[in-house]
Amino acid sequence: MTLQLRVYVPPHPLIKHWLAVARDASTPSVLFRSAITELGRWLTYEAAREWLPTMEATVQTPLSTSPATLINPEIPVAVVPILRAGLGLLEGAQTLLPLASIYHLGLVRDEATLEPLCYLNKLPEKLNPQTRVLITDPMLATGGSIMAAMAELTHRGVDPSLTRIVSVVAAPPALQKLSAAYPGLIIYTACIDEGLNDKGFIVPGLGDAGDRIFGT
Ligand code: PRP
C-alpha cells in the first residue's frame, strides 16, 4: 500500500502496553477506559510535536533573563472527539491541551450499510484557517466516519495540513481513503491493523471501543 499521508506509530513502551490492555477481551470496562485515556495522553503528546504553535520570548529568572519558548496563545487549538468512542481519548488529550476548544461530533455507523450518520455537530460555522485541529477516534475502520469528519472540518475552513488524527487502531481502507483525499494530513495511531472482517470490524482490533468504554 502506498500512503502519501504520514501515519506515525510511535514506538513507545507505554503506548504498546496500553494497546495490549485495550486489545485483551478480558479487560473490564473500567480498565479499558483507563487504557484508552492513557493512549489519548501519549498519542497526543507525540502528535503535539511540530504541531502546537509556539512563540519565542524572554523570561526573567530569579537570577537573570533567559530566552524561552512558550505555547502561542494567539493561535487557536481545537479537539474534535468523534462520539462516542472518541470521548475516551479526549480526557488524556485535554490534560495536555487545557486551552483547546472542544467541538463534539456525534457519528454512528449504520450496522448494515456501515455508512456514518451524524446526530450531533457542535462545530462552529467557520473556523480560523490557522486552527490546529486534533481529531480523536480510537478506530479508523472503513474510513466512513473519519472522512465525514474531515469533510465537515474542511468545509468550515480547516487546513488538513494543520490537522492531526489520534486513533488507537487504524485499518488500511481508512488510511487509503484519507491518503487519497488529504495528502497533507498526519495520523498518530498505536497500531495499523491487518484489515476488516465481514461485519466491518477491525481485525485483530479491540472490539467495539464505544461499548467497552461505556459498558454498554
Ligand atoms: C466506531 C468508531 C469509529 C467508527 C469507525 O464508532 O469509534 O467512529 O466506528 O468505523 P468506520 O471507519 O467504518 O466509519 P461507532 O459507529 O461504533 O459509534 P460509537 O463510537 O458511538 O460506538
State pLDDT tens for residues 45-91. Answer: 999 999 999 999 999 999 999 999 999 999 999 999 999 999 999 99
Instruction: Yes or no: say if 153 and 127 are a contact pair by the CB < 8 Å rule.
Output: yes
Taking the C-alpha atoms of residue 103 and residue 75, their distance in angstroms, rounded to an integer, is: 16
What is the pLDDT, as a whole number, of residue 32?
98
Is the pLDDT at 5 greater than 90? The verdict is no
Assigned domain for 208 exists = yes
What is the pLDDT, as a whole number, of residue 39?
98
Assigned domain for 59 exists = no
Could you list the residue range(s) of the whole structural domain that residue 176 is in?
A: 6-53+73-214
Is the pLDDT at 2 greater than 80? The verdict is no
Find out whether 24 is annotated in a ligand binding site. no
- Calculate the alpha carbon distances from 37 to 14, 24, 194 in Å: 12, 16, 24
Taking the C-alpha atoms of residue 133 and residue 123, their distance in angstroms, rounded to an integer, is: 12
Taking the C-alpha atoms of residue 197 and residue 112, their distance in angstroms, rounded to an integer, is: 13
- Render pLDDT for 9-35 as a digit per residue (tens, 0 to 9): 999 999 999 999 999 999 999 999 999
What is the pLDDT, as a whole number, of residue 111?
86
* CATH, residue 78: 3.40.50.2020
In ligand 1, the atom with minimum distance to the C-alpha of 210 is 22
Pocket test for ligand 1, best of 82, 145, 216 (most atoms within 8 A of CB): 145
Assigned domain for 64 exists = no
Assigned domain for 89 exists = yes
- Is the shortest distance between the CB of 48 and ligand 1 below 6 Å? no
Assigned domain for 141 exists = yes
- Calculate the alpha carbon distances from 32 to 5, 27, 194 in Å: 29, 6, 22
Assigned domain for 1 exists = no
Assigned domain for 80 exists = yes
Average confidence score pLDDT of the chain: 96
Instruction: Yes or no: say if 66 and 59 are a contact pair by the CB < 8 Å rule.
Output: yes
pTM of the model: 0.96
- Render pLDDT for 142-200 as a digit per residue (tens, 0 to 9): 999 999 999 999 999 999 999 999 999 999 999 999 999 998 899 999 999 999 999 99
For residue 115, give every residue at least 6 positions away whose Cβ sits within 8 Å of its Cβ, in sequence order, or none.
109, 144
Assigned domain for 67 exists = no
- Is the shortest distance between the CB of 200 and ligand 1 below 6 Å? yes
Return the higher-pLDDT residue of 111 and 122: 122
Q: What ipTM was predicted for this assembly?
A: 0.98
What is the pLDDT, as a whole number, of residue 4?
59
The count of domains in the chain is: 1
